[in-house]
Amino acid sequence: YKCCNKFLEAHYMENTQKTYTIGEWLDTWLMDYASPMLRSSTIQNYLYARKRLDKHYPNIENITLETLTPLDFQRMLNALASVYSKSSVAHIKVVYCEAYQEAVRNNICFCNPIREVQIPKHAARKKVSGMTIPEQDAFESVLTQLSFMDHCMILTYLLTGLRRNELRNLRWKDWNSKQDYIQVCESKTTTGIRNIPIIPQVTSILHTLAQRKSCEYIFHVNGEKMTDGHIRYICTKVSRIAGIRHVTPHMLRHTFASRLFESDAGLKSLAEILGRTDPAFTLKTYVTVSQKHLAEQMRKLIRK
């Protein structure tokens, strides 16, 4: 007990006497506070936010925590709003605000200069659109050039509307082969924990993969769960071969939502399948209506 007290006292004195640079404190905060508490994907997003700010303001990590002023950070965000979407700028603010808040709790600095900084109103909202029907046709037509596992993974992604990490985390025990649904046991939200009915094409994919099962995860690379990087690489590769615009993994989820909506799925059903709570938000965020579908809707006005 005495040793523990001495250690804590020495640690307290070290922290209160040391002057941290922003870069040094971010390293400490990420290792001691963020990493033990948050998902690895969230930590990766924090690192992306840090990298974005450092790319445009490389000197920020060399200044001390006490040196940064609210005006300094506000000017940075104002400039970044011309480069990144509103959500990306907001994410940068969140990361630095949380790091500073922990520094205040540890008596390493007196105040948090990020707290009252505002997200610029002129920052553009990020809009992810699904593939058009011709793009999707071209995308799917070249999937046979992939390995069998990657081919199955991409098709399942397109035909289920799963989030990327939901897809990566799918295990064989999550597939109910008798009732034809997959159970999402790990998701970013509680609403994301759900059962998704699957169509015969996905059932066929799973039965085929089950015959060569060698891992607890349905989709894997050499027995290891697929990484985010691998899925991004495959999407980039396929879109390049297909000769269409760059397709990100998240666009596959949006493509699924758009096709399901065009098939006259109800908004409540669409939201539940995607693991969202608000049907209106789901429609606004995920659905890009094709010109073909709009034309079909307009033809309903024609009197017979």
Tens digit of pLDDT at every position of the chain (304 positions): 445 444 445 554 555 557 899 999 999 999 999 999 887 778 888 999 999 999 999 999 999 999 999 999 999 999 999 888 888 899 999 999 999 999 999 999 989 999 999 999 887 766 778 999 999 999 999 999 999 999 999 999 999 999 999 999 999 999 999 999 999 998 878 888 999 999 999 999 999 999 988 899 999 998 899 998 899 999 999 999 999 999 999 999 999 999 998 888 888 888 899 888 888 877 777 777 777 777 777 677 677 6
pLDDT score, position 7: 45
pLDDT score, position 14: 53
- Cα distance between residue 3 and residue 93, in whole Å: 39
pLDDT score, position 44: 85
pLDDT score, position 17: 59
Q: What angle do CA 268, 270, 275 make, to 5 degrees?
A: 95
pLDDT score, position 232: 92
**What's the token pair of residue 181?**
């649904």
- What's the predicted TM-score (pTM) here? 0.69
pLDDT score, position 4: 47
